[in-house]
């Protein structure tokens, strides 16, 4: 019979105790390590949040008065400025009525970029009421603008002081828009020199896209016979488009550069119908932010095609065919070309 020695048992037991003790120490050490890593992670997240918040608060606050201008500004500003838009998509900048929201935005602004030529007829009063200290910049100042003769316009005489002697709808001429982008680049860079190089790089990239757009529009217009390049729209807002791309404006249902207008007289509508017929106009165009009952009636009476709405003074909603300036222009050209070619 073989007997196991007691000392062997004791040694094995002691080894087992040591192993268990070492295991406890390892687990305990690992737990402390994990808690330390967790603490470091929480601190990192907290510090990152604080830095991000500080960066956000340090961005210059830029206000653009309406959706088309807002898209231009956002393309130049990128992520380095906080851009707010007063008059949003599918909203008429002519007839906009400010609320306390817009007053608060102006109060917090560092710079206000506006179209000019009295497009934003409500802005002077809003700016004064808000007591904003922001610098106001008219982005179309210095451009080759179309002069306006108001003598035959369908407008309220008492509101005639709101109307400029120049057509404000410059965005339908891409070549003018390129000059506006250069102006926006300059103004943002002066206001925020730390990010000037980024603004300039963004502007140059967007300008190249606009140059490509301008060439594309010119090529598309060639599909339309010159004799058919005639436009009749809801209101008189496509003058710059006509001048740049070789169209003739036959007339508008409301003979005004603003949508703040009286319904035209029956005699003037009859005169326009007669002109549509004599000029062999093939279609009339409605607009995305205009009451188009009048233009529909005109199309019926003149027996011409009622074309799909064009984007005239505002971008479309997100996911629409006109949610950006470039998309808006491409959509308009496709509609015009399809109907008139």
Query: What tokens does 267 get?
Result: 């005699």
Q: What is the pLDDT of residue 121?
A: 96
Q: Specify whether the backbone of 90 is left (phi greater than 0), alpha (psi in -120 to 50) or beta.
A: left
Residues 242 and 334 in one domain: yes
Residues 161 and 298 in one domain: no
- Gap between the Cα atoms of 52 and 71, Å rounded: 24
Boundary residue ending a domain (150, 184, 217): 217
Helix (H, G, I), strand (E, B) or coil at 250: strand
Q: Which residues contact 208 (CB under 8 A, 6 or more apart)?
A: none
- Gap between the Cα atoms of 284 and 252, Å rounded: 9
Range scoring the smallest mean pLDDT among 11-15, 34-38, 181-185, 333-337: 11-15
Residues 157 and 305 in one domain: no
Is 96 in contact with 289 (CB distance < 8 Å)?
A: no
Give tens-digit pLDDT for 275-323. Answer: 999 999 999 999 987 777 888 999 999 999 999 999 999 999 999 999 9
Is 163 in contact with 150 (CB distance < 8 Å)?
A: yes
Q: What is the pLDDT of residue 152?
A: 57
Q: Which residues contact 77 (CB under 8 A, 6 or more apart)?
A: 62, 83, 188, 199, 202
DSSP 164: -
Q: What is the pLDDT of residue 196?
A: 98
- Gap between the Cα atoms of 2 and 18, Å rounded: 28
Query: What percentage of residues in the chain have a pLDDT greater than 90?
Result: 68
Length of the chain: 341
Boundary residue ending a domain (196, 217, 238): 217
Residues 213 and 226 in one domain: no
Q: What is the CATH number of the domain that holds 144?
A: 3.40.50.1980
Question: In this structure, how many other beta carbons lie within 10 angstroms of the beta carbon of residue 195?
Answer: 19
- Gap between the Cα atoms of 259 and 234, Å rounded: 9
Residue 278 is assigned to a structural domain of this protein: yes
Strands (E), the chain: 60-66, 81-87, 111-114, 135-138, 230-235, 248-254, 283-287, 305-310
Domain holding 64, by residue range, is 59-217
3-state helix, strand, coil in the chain (%, to 5): 55, 15, 30
Q: Pick 337 or 37 by higher pLDDT.
A: 337
Residues 69 and 213 in one domain: yes
Q: Pick 296 or 77 by higher pLDDT.
A: 77
Backbone angles phi, psi at 172, to 5 degrees: -80, 0
Residues 145 and 248 in one domain: no
Residues 251 and 180 in one domain: no
Half-sphere exposure of 86 (CA within 13 A, CB side): 32
Q: What is the pLDDT of residue 161?
A: 43
């Amino acid at each position: 019979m073989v007997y196991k020695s007691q000392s062997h048992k004791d040694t094995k037991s002691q080894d087992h105790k040591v192993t268990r003790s070492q295991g406890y120490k390892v687990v305990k050490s690992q737990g402390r390590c994990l808690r330390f890593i967790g603490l470091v992670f929480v601190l990192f997240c907290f510090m990152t949040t604080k830095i991000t918040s500080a960066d956000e608060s340090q961005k210059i606050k830029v206000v653009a008065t309406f959706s088309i201008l807002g898209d231009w500004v956002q393309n130049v500003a990128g992520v380095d400025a906080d851009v707010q838009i007063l008059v949003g998509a599918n909203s008429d900048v002519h007839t906009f009525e400010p609320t306390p929201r817009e007053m608060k935005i102006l109060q917090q602004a560092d710079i206000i970029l506006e179209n000019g030529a009295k497009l934003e007829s409500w802005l002077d009063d809003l700016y004064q009421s808000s007591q904003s200290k922001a610098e106001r910049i008219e982005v179309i100042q210095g451009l080759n603008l179309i002069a306006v003769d108001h003598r035959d316009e369908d407008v309220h005489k008492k509101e005639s002081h709101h109307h400029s002697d120049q057509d404000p709808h410059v965005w339908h001429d891409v070549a003018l828009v390129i000059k506006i982008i250069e102006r926006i680049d300059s103004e943002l860079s002066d206001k925020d020199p730390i990010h000037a190089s980024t603004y300039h790089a963004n502007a140059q990239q967007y300008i190249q896209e606009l140059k490509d757009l301008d060439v594309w529009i010119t090529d598309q217009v060639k599909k339309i016979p010159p004799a058919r390049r005639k436009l009749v729209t809801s209101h008189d807002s496509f003058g710059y488009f006509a001048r740049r791309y070789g169209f003739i404006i036959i007339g508008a249902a409301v003979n005004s550069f603003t949508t703040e207008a009286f319904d035209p007289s029956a005699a003037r509508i009859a005169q326009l119908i007669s002109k549509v017929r004599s000029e062999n106009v093939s279609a009339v165009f409605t607009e995305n932010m205009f009451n188009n009952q009048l233009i529909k009636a005109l199309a019926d009476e003149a027996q011409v095609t009622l074309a799909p709405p064009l984007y005239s003074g505002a971008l479309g909603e997100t996911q629409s065919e006109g949610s950006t300036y470039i998309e808006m222009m491409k959509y308009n050209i496709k509609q015009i070309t399809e109907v008139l070619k």
